[in-house]
Structure formats: structure tokens, C-alpha cells
Amino acid sequence: MTRESVRAAIDAISGDLVSLSHFIHAHPEMGYEEYLSAEAVASAAEDAGFILERGIAELPTAFRATSGSGELRVVLCAEYDALPDVGHACGHNIIAAASLGAAIGLAAVAEELDLTVILLGTPSEEGGGGKIDLINAGYFNDVHAALMIHPWPTERLEATCLAVDHFDVTYEGKEAHASAAPWEGVNALDAVTIAQVAVSLLRQQLRPGDQVHSIVTDGGAAANIIPRRASARYMARSVTATRLAQLRDRLSGCFEAGARATGARLSVNEIGSAFSHMESDPAILAHYRVAAEELGRSFSLDDQAEAKPTLSTDMANVSLVVPSIHPLLAIPTQGAVNHQPEFTAACITPEADQAVIDGALALANTVISVATDNALRRRLLGGK
């Protein structure tokens, strides 16, 4: 009766979960500023009887909602931050609603499973690393497993999660009249241009799994003024933290080239926390596969050994401190990929709404299987 009780609990709130997903989608908020979205998820958990702690880890948009007092402590992670310009083009509205649904479903059987259900509101996945803030504050110290799902154009058990750094590269030069006396200036935009060219040339020698992306965030004030200040925002990725450090060393040479060639002063400022590579727990992931397939989901791409998609997430950092999974849940996108406006539109279709319910059920049933797998439960609790 355990699974039936969970399904009944989720079915009873399915309309509310879809409404929550649409609310978050309609109110896109950037990382650490998700005030409406975080409160909407937190309040829904509180209304469902969870013990709620708002503003944990000194983060106004982070929360912990707890139900049950069992020995096995399981976290469900709710993301709800959006992207600039394209809004919820990574489906965090679906993530938040599905994790809430799974938590409420599991609360109905927590006593039976000797389970403590924890819903963590984790801000700023898109660059800041709210989960890393919560790791550092100890909110994953006393838990035994952590789970979430992530919308994607295809169904996959896991992705290749690359370690990533986010940082700003800034050059300070000197203004001058661009026509009358350009030699009196130090052109900071030229320094950015030289760095960008150097990075582009470096790309041909990057090892597989190394990636660099950037945008220019400040290129000067007017065309007739030699730019005193210019900056670019970078993301550097690699397969491990060690490889990422090696990549950063090579990139530093590119940035220093811009400074040396122009005479501009260089500064590099880190943004948020570094994301690690991910190590999915294979036993938990196997239980997830069964739970998802029971809902009609198919993992044919995994069975055919198709290359895994690459992405980065602060859930990877969680996986290094507690057994975790981060499977990709398919929604129809008509060819669009994450971070495109067409994907944003796909995240509130009827199929996306069904993904909210499927995600909640798949996560909840995974936890049931984990809690009743005696060998796995012993391992998670620290036994042999």
C-alpha cells in the first residue's frame, strides 16, 4: 500500500503542483533573488504540514522543510532560479514543483518507512551555487541521500557534469579622445579583444571535455572615447577540478597577454563557488530507472550508449558529500535545447505539466525503493 498511498497524496495535489510550476515560470527571478518563487514553494510545504525554516545559511531565498523523524534522512532539492533574458529556459519551475510533490507524497509514508523527508530550497543554481552554500553551512551533513530531476529534451539517467568556474575578467586603462589624441589613452577594450582572440586560438588545443564560454559585459561608454574600462564574463569547464585548474592556468596566460599588449591593468574576480564533477550513486540511479520506466519513461539512449549530454550543476558538489542522483526528465521541445526561448515555452505545455507529476512520482518511488532495499539502506546509514 506504500506506493498507492504516495500516488494518492500526489494525485490529490497535482493541480496545485502544476499551478506552482506555472507561477514560478511566470515570475522568473535571478539567482539569490528568487523571493516570490522560494516563498511559493516554502509556503506550499508549510501548508502541507512540513516544519519550515526560512532563510537558512543566511540566504533569504533558501529554506528547509522537514516531515517525519525516521532514521533514514533523504533530501529532495528544489531549484527555482531563472536565466537572464530567456527566463525559465532550464525548467527550474518543473524541478521545484516535482521535488515538492515528491516530498509531500513521501511525507504520507514517512513513519512507515522510518524516513525523514527534507525538502531543501536551493537558490542560484545558474552560476552562484546555492547548494554549495548549503553544503558549507552544514545542511547536507546529517543526510543520507539527495535527489532531484532536471528537464531535458531527452530522457537520460545522467549527464556528464563538468567542473566549472565562473569569473569576471576586467581591464582598467585610460580615457582619451579617440580622434584628437588616442595615443594618450590605454584601451581596455583592446585588451579584452586580445584576450578573446588568444582564448579562441587556444581552443584548438583544448583537451576533450575542456570548454570556455564568455560574453563581453562592458566595452566602453562611447565610440569617440578610448575605453578606460572593459570586462568579460567567463565560464571555464573541465572533467575534473584538477583538469579545470590546469585549464585556468592556460587561460591566465591569455588574459595576461591582453594586459601586456595594451598596458591595461588586469583583475580577475571569481563569481560564486566552483562547481565540481558529479558522481551519481549507481544503486539509487538503478532504482530511479525502474521507477521512471513504470511511468512509461524509456532510457533507450542510455541502452544504446549514446554520448551523454554535458552540463554543469551545483548538485555535482552535493554528490561528492552525500549519495545523489540528477537524472534528466524528457519534455517535448520540438528540437529546442535548454537555454533557448523555445525551451522556456516548452516548460509550461501539457506535456511539461505531466512531467511535473511524473517527476514527483519517480522521485518518491525511488526513495521508497531505497528505503526498503536493506543492503542499500545499511550502506547509506553507514553500515556494511
Q: Dump pLDDT digits (tens) for 316-328.
A: 999 999 999 999 9
Q: How far is Cα 261 from Cα 259, in angstroms, rounded to an integer?
A: 6
Q: For 65-85, what is the mean pLDDT?
A: 98
Rounded to two decimals, what is the model's pTM?
Answer: 0.93
Read off the pLDDT band of 22 (50, 70, 90).
very high
pLDDT tens digits for 331-367?
999 999 999 999 999 999 999 999 999 999 999 999 9
121 close to 30: Cβ distance less than 8 angstroms: no
158 close to 65: Cβ distance less than 8 angstroms: no
pLDDT tens digits for 275-290?
999 999 999 999 999 9
**pLDDT of 218 higher than 60:** yes
Give me the DSSP letters along 49-113: T-EEEESGGG-TT-EEEEE---SEEEEEEE----BTTTBSTT-HHHHHHHHHHHHHHHHTTTTTT
Predicted pLDDT of residue 133: 97
**pLDDT of 384 higher than 80:** no
Direct distance between the N- and C-terminal alpha carbons of the chain, in angstroms, rounded to an integer: 29
Mean model confidence pLDDT for the chain: 97
Predicted pLDDT of residue 1: 76
Read off the pLDDT band of 224 (50, 70, 90).
very high
Query: Which DSSP helix (H) or strand (E) runs through 239?
Result: none
Domain boundaries, given as residue ranges, for the chain:
2-161+277-380, 163-270
Read off the pLDDT band of 117 (50, 70, 90).
very high
Read off the pLDDT band of 104 (50, 70, 90).
very high
In DSSP terms, which residues pair with 370 in a beta bridge?
A: none
Predicted pLDDT of residue 97: 98
Predicted pLDDT of residue 75: 98
Grid cell in block for residue 309: 549530454
What is the number of other CB atoms lying within 10 angstroms of the CB of residue 344? 23
In DSSP terms, which residues pair with 117 in a beta bridge?
A: 67, 74
65 close to 160: Cβ distance less than 8 angstroms: no
CATH code of domain 2-161+277-380: 3.40.630.10
Helix%, strand%, coil% for the chain, nearest 5: 40, 20, 35
For domain 163-270, say whether CATH 3.30.70.360 is its number. yes
Predicted pLDDT of residue 127: 83
Predicted pLDDT of residue 246: 97
CA 202 to chain centre: 28
